[in-house]
Structure 1
């Protein structure tokens, strides 16, 4: 059984090392982890971004499930590319698992980046835009995609000291996926 490993780890200073750790955890549970940086792409080619996109979609197409790292990335919410990948997999009826190493509510995280006030019974940011406030850890579309296509979002009780390298919640997703897919663990 193959699991596509989505997340912003590809932007870390040690993307290969973290990918290897994730793949190894998958293997220890009887699963094959497919990590996006395993695609070979000439980053200096004119069509490098399209080659990355096509390679990642090909990996998703051959996967049985996705584990998406939805830890906030460069803002209060998940990485945009990872959100696309989660939607792509849900839209194809594949099993979806996700984790977030920041257990705070989305509305609280928005407050870290913008002043939030109450207007007419709703939360609004500094630009006057409504802040989603359903008591969820991220946008309702991601949360319910996981609920309906796999398993609810896995969250730690407390935010780890290193949200990018702590793989405790990731490993819980791997265990859940192995059980659902009938892999040996």
Structure 2
């Protein structure tokens, strides 16, 4: 069974969204994984279907590049949070590697034009999105490769579980046949 990776990000809003989805899914396939792209669902209730895809996925690959401003797409932020709530790992990438403090104009006290503090944790996005220890890759290929490397055991474990179940069923079948044959042999010997 292939590793399933949900491909979150604002690429669904691009004019070439379907082609971009095919590219991202091809990157997954090249790594031996299956890419689950949000546009692969019917237009009726996209939210519900995307949530179902996240449930079906082993992990989320999320594009946190700035979208319509200095921060990432809010829908992608929701998908990352939802995956984390489910206990699913997520792997991030961004085409903007600079920390927020380097991207958002801030005065000497680290405040923006509205007087609000600009987060200065050396991360390309809010610390709730990029927790300590979380790497942000420069592109989707690297994030996908990391997910496959980190989660390859999941696929192997599923395969091993399936093989174990099959072996147990076969062993049970053989045991039943041996027990029946032994019972028939005892009946023959006692009957003489």
TM class by smaller structure: 0.7 to 0.9
Structure possessing the higher radius of gyration over alpha carbons = 2
Q: Which residue of 2 aligns with 1:107?
A: 101
Shift of 1:99: 0.3
Shift of 1:131: 0.9
CA root-mean-square deviation: 1.5
User: Do residues 175 (structure 1) and 145 (structure 2) align?
Assistant: yes
Runs of 4+ in 1 over 2 A off after TM superposition: none
Instruction: Write the mapping of 1:136-147 to structure 2, written as runs, cut at 5 A.
Output: 136-144=123-131, 147=133
User: Do residues 41 (structure 1) and 43 (structure 2) align?
Assistant: yes
Q: Which residue of 2 aligns with 1:30?
A: 32
Unaligned regions of 5+ residues in structure 1, if any?
Answer: 43-50, 156-168
Shift of 1:173: 0.9
Q: Which residue of 2 aligns with 1:118?
A: 108
User: Could you give the per-residue CA deviations for residues 96-138 of structure 1, whole angstroms, max 9, x where no partner exists?
Assistant: 1010111111112222xxxx2123xxx1111111111122211
Larger RCO, structure (CA 8 Å, separation 6 or more)? 1
TM-score normalized by structure 1?
A: 0.78
Unaligned regions of 5+ residues in structure 2, if any?
Answer: 157-192
Residue aligned with 2:121, SS: coil
TM-score normalized by structure 2?
A: 0.75
Structure with bigger helix share is 2
User: Do residues 57 (structure 1) and 51 (structure 2) align?
Assistant: yes
CA distance in 2, matches of 1:3, 1:35: 9
Q: 1:6 is matched with which residue: 5, 8, 18?
A: 8
Shift of 1:90: 1.1
- How many positions carry a matched residue from both structures? 152
Residue aligned with 2:116, SS: coil
